[in-house]
Structure 1
Amino acid sequence: MTLIRRLLDQAARTPSAVALVAGDGTEMTYGELRHRILAVRHGLRANGMRAGDGVLFSVRPSRDSLVLALGVVAAGGVVVFADPGAGPEMFAARLRLASPRWSAAESVLYAASRLRPVRALARRRGLLLPDLADLPLRHIHTGPRLPGVPRDSLSLHSLLTGHDASDPGPEADPDPDAPAAVIFTSGTTAKPRAVVHTQASLVAALDLFRERLPLGPGDVVHTDQLMLGLPTLVSGARWSMPPLSASPKRFALQLRERGATHTFCVPVHLAEVLDAEPLLPKSLRYVLLGAAPAPAGVLRRAIEAAPHAEVLSVYAMTEILPVAIASAQEKLAHTSGGDNLGTPLVHTRVASDGELWLSGPNLCRGYLGEPPLTELPTGDLVRRESDRLVLIGRKKDMLIRGKFNLYPGLYEPAITTLDGVDEAAIVGVPDPETGDEEVVLAVTGTATPDELRRRLPQLIDHDALPDRIVVLPSLPRSGRTRKLDRDRLREAVLPREAVR
């Protein structure tokens, strides 16, 4: 059974229940969601969408984006998640690789990319937007028709109101093993890389989440993450979306106002939420952390802020999610070095060099333009401890110090357990005198370098002790998930004479 069919069937069972609370507080029932998905499906097919058509998708998380994305997949299309702010060269390279036939964007983005005053303002703020209206594609826009929107663009409103929304039945569903979503993850302008998921791989991922994270009618999941919103809807629960660019204080208040039972945060974001609101509402039963390693300090704060909830850390990759889930207590109790990822939810294999390989029904189909995958090399180095996986670092982050291989991920979690250390990261920077790498430990918090030099020898291996310790106001991060940017960190900790 496809993802769309599961969602439509759930909606048919509980049509009057609230499915979604949007950022502005407006509600949409399951019956309304079902009607809109089917209307968009019918409208897109009536306007020429064919099975396998790629749709370049530039709509931020909202009620409209959910309806449009699900309608595209229901029509047999492929949602190609775009990032117009990636820069013109990267955007063009990704466009060449994906070769979409359609573009779906907010009308304000069309206007911002076409109108000179708005485009100039975006440039001054460092945002170089592509001219979406000039792309030789069929266009769909959300929101009111603004100057810059192509004249022949279909509006989401017209799709919702101009077509029959009858359900033709499961025989009309797309092939569950056909591509449904394309997500760009890495690569260069010369060789961009994109993950291809099918409805089948997405359904398998949702099922794994639901096995570990009980969800059902009456539950309220507060998140802007699609991969947690979808299992919410398939389970008949309520998806609560925070507003775009919600402040940490507003995010915390909405948890309380909407009676959230589940929420998801990137660790850095949760720290900001707890700075604004140290206690989380008693309605919360699950607090999920993911997209980046959770420092011990954040885990402890989460437990203190929500003693009534289970705090979980999710290890996942865009290619296969989730992979493993560990409780905060399990992670804090781990003292043998590295990051306790928990018991794997998928098939795992540890290669001779320690690299983790993964497979399972939730594995993506592969990378766009490349052969299908049957097993995924993660680039992560792990060891097994009983039935658990322990992350010790990334292959590409490994530092060589003489005959000693230094894996930052093996030591960083332990360093964050020290009083006065909020975050810790180890990087290597070129040493012009020796030609080797200088090992630099960067931390945030109140601890001083002298304090850390006294305490670290009792905590980590002698050969892993840093050559230099730097205290920063914050660690550089990038992307929506705000992952640690080690390249920028290396630049930030370069000796002053090296950057003159």
Structure 2
Amino acid sequence: MNDGASENLFDILATGFPIDRASPAFLLPDGAAVSYGALEIAASKVATCLVSEGVAPGDRVALQAEKSWQGIAVYLGTLKAGAVFLPLNAAYTEAEIAYFLGDAEPALFIRDPDGFVADCADLAPLAPSVPRGADDLAAIIYTSGTTGRSKGAMLSHGNLASNARALVDIWGYSSDDVLLHALPIFHVHGLFISLHCTMLKGCPMIWLAKYDDAEVLAGLARATVMMGVPTFYTRLLAQPGFTKAVADGIRLFVCGSAPLLPSTFDEFEVRTGQRILERYGMSEAAVITSNPLKGERLAGSVGYPLPGVELRIGDGQETGVIEIKGPSVFSGYWRMPEKTAQEFTADGFFKTGDVGRRDPDGRVWISGRAKDLIISGGYNVYPKEVELVLDELPGVVESAVVGAPHADFGEAVVAVVIAKDRTEAELIAACREELAPYKTPKRVVFVDDLPRNAMGKVQKNLLRDRVAGLFV
């Protein structure tokens, strides 16, 4: 923006808030509502509190808590204060949290947003917002590395604003929409993609703490848009109460964060008469491609690049690693300049690590991961992080972690282990002590040897083939 308007993301989002600030922002399960005015005031008071506590522009503010509207007030207040928001999964263990805090060095770590917002209630709202440029950092999103070391993707105010504006346009958002929000808010999908689109049009959100069959079915009766991961849609389809009549009020079902099985796509269309809109994104760039709002949506395709996004296949191959450039692409990894340099080409394209191809008309198809990423229930699991925990356990000689097809989660984490005098239940229980539930193996398979190639590298493709039928 060069028209003199504020480039602080808080101010950009607030331009979309309804003129009548008494309009609801959050519709809560207990029947209560939180207005846009109440949200704006709470966020502005949080900003005052942060500034008074000495949080300076560019300082990090970390939040680890269960989902609540007060957590969003902390997020928006952090933006308004010019600080950098660091969302952390509420399921992370103390050992996992210690790494993030040590790496990001936040000025403040909040675990009780409800109490924090209440403590700020008597303060005057901060006005105006702390000035920020489009290139200034707004958030750091940690994405686990294949070496076991998590990487902090640095996203700017401009990155997030440009992506939100593009999505509002291509998905046809209006002030008449109502979003069914059952996603977590420590994740790009629930925090940025869902929230920003809705706020830019001043829409209400049916605010669910998590996905729950009964609450989602009830929410569909009042919503016009639902955003979810494949697990949401497989669980809906398992409900006899999910009928065409129930889905008729929804103008748009969006799916992302993990590949949607073509069988789910097809079954959903048969049940509802609607086609799920699948899109493709990642922590480093938010949404990259999307199927069209109006036009053909094909099972297995993630559609076309968003306006302003350049997408190419690396090395000029028909199928290869997808590389991207555009206004939503992050600037690099926090305090990892060498890793950042490795992940960008000389002409400024980010190497996503996803393998795919493009049709002659530009439609994108994802065929797999260049690395060994497992996407379980919409969450990223990097095998090395799980292997590091397993390999430290008594009796474990060596482990290799892979994903296996799972009807509910898309992929499930499976550990293939060489071990002495250990049981599957013992190893799973031990992992649960160190890892978030979605990273913990759902099955452990014991072997005498791991298959290796001539260079001694474990051949995980053979292991994936071996465990492919575990959950079928």
Q: What TM-score, normalized by structure 1, do the two folds share?
A: 0.67
Contact 2:403 2:411 in 1 (8 A): no
Aligned pairs for 1:7-406 within 5 A:
7-11=13-17, 13-83=19-89, 85-106=91-112, 141-143=113-115, 155-159=116-120, 161-165=121-125, 167-168=127-128, 172-187=130-145, 191-223=149-181, 224=183, 225-226=190-191, 227-242=193-208, 244-256=209-221, 259-276=222-239, 277-279=241-243, 280-307=246-273, 309=274, 311-326=276-291, 330-332=297-299, 339-345=300-306, 346-352=309-315, 354-371=320-337, 374-386=348-360, 387-396=362-371
Displacement, 1:441? 11
After superposition, give the CA deviation of every residue in 1:361-416 in whole Å (9 maximum; x if it has no partner).
00112111134664311111222211112222222359xxxxxxxxx99xxxxxxx
For 2:249, the aligned partner's letter is S
**Residue deviations 1:114-146, cap 9 Å, x none?**
xxxxxxxxxxxxxxxxxxxxxxxxxxx534xxx
SS at match of 2:144: strand
Superposed CA RMSD in Å reads: 3.5
Residues 174 and 476 of structure 1, relative CA distance in 2, 3 Å threshold:
same
Q: Counterparts of 2:69 and 2:204 in 1: how far apart (Å)?
A: 13
Task: Letter of the 1:158 partner, please give it.
Answer: D
Q: Cα distance, 1:250 vs. partner?
A: 2.1
Partner residue of 2:396?
none
Q: 1:6 to 1:260 in 2, by over 3 A?
A: same
* Native 8 Å contact 2:16 2:201 kept in 1: yes
Counterparts of 2:277 and 2:437 in 1: how far apart (Å)?
Answer: 17
Do the aligned partners of 2:354 and 2:368 also contact (CA within 8 Å) in 1? yes
Given that residues 10 and 235 in structure 1 are in contact (C-alpha distance below 8 angstroms), is that contact kept between their aligned partners in structure 2?
yes
Task: Map 1:427-442; keep pairs closer than 5 Å.
Answer: none
2 CA distance for matches of 1:189 and 1:92? 18
| Aligned twin of 2:382 | none
Measure the CA separation in 2 of the matches of 1:395 and 1:360: 21
Q: Tell me, in whole angstroms, the C-alpha distance in 1 between the residues paired with 2:250 and 2:283.
A: 27
CA distance in 2, matches of 1:285, 1:484: 36
> AA paired with 2:84?
V
Structure 1 unmatched ranges of 5 or more? 107-140, 144-154, 333-338, 399-407, 410-439, 446-471, 496-500
Q: Which has the higher contact order (CA 8 A, sep 6+)?
A: 2
Contact kept in structure 2, 1:249 and 1:273, CA below 8 Å: no
Q: Distance in 2 between matches of 1:61 and 1:18?
A: 18
Query: Residue type matched to 1:76 in 2?
Result: G
Matched to 1:156, the amino acid is V
Q: What's the secondary structure of 2:291's corresponding residue?
A: strand
Secondary structure of the residue aligned to 1:268 is helix
Q: Computing the radius of gyration over CA atoms, which structure comes out larger, 1 or 2?
A: 1
Task: Give the number of aligned pairs.
Answer: 373
Q: For 2:97 and 2:276, how far apart are their aligned partners in 1?
A: 37
Partner of residue 418, structure 2: none
Q: 1:189–1:24: structure 2 CA closer, same or farther, 3 Å change rule?
A: farther
State how far apart, in whole Å, the 2-side matches of 1:79 and 1:232 are.
Answer: 19
C-alpha separation in 1, matches of 2:196 and 2:264: 27
Map of 2:412 onto structure 1: 476
Amino acid at match of 1:283: G
Change (3 A) 1:2 1:322: same
Partner of 2:421: none
User: Compared with structure 1, are the counterparts of its residues 189 and 103 closer, same or farther at alpha carbon in structure 2 (3 Å cutoff)?
Assistant: farther
Would the aligned equivalents of 2:8 and 2:82 in 1 still touch at CA under 8 Å?
no
Query: SS at 1:41's partner residue?
Result: helix
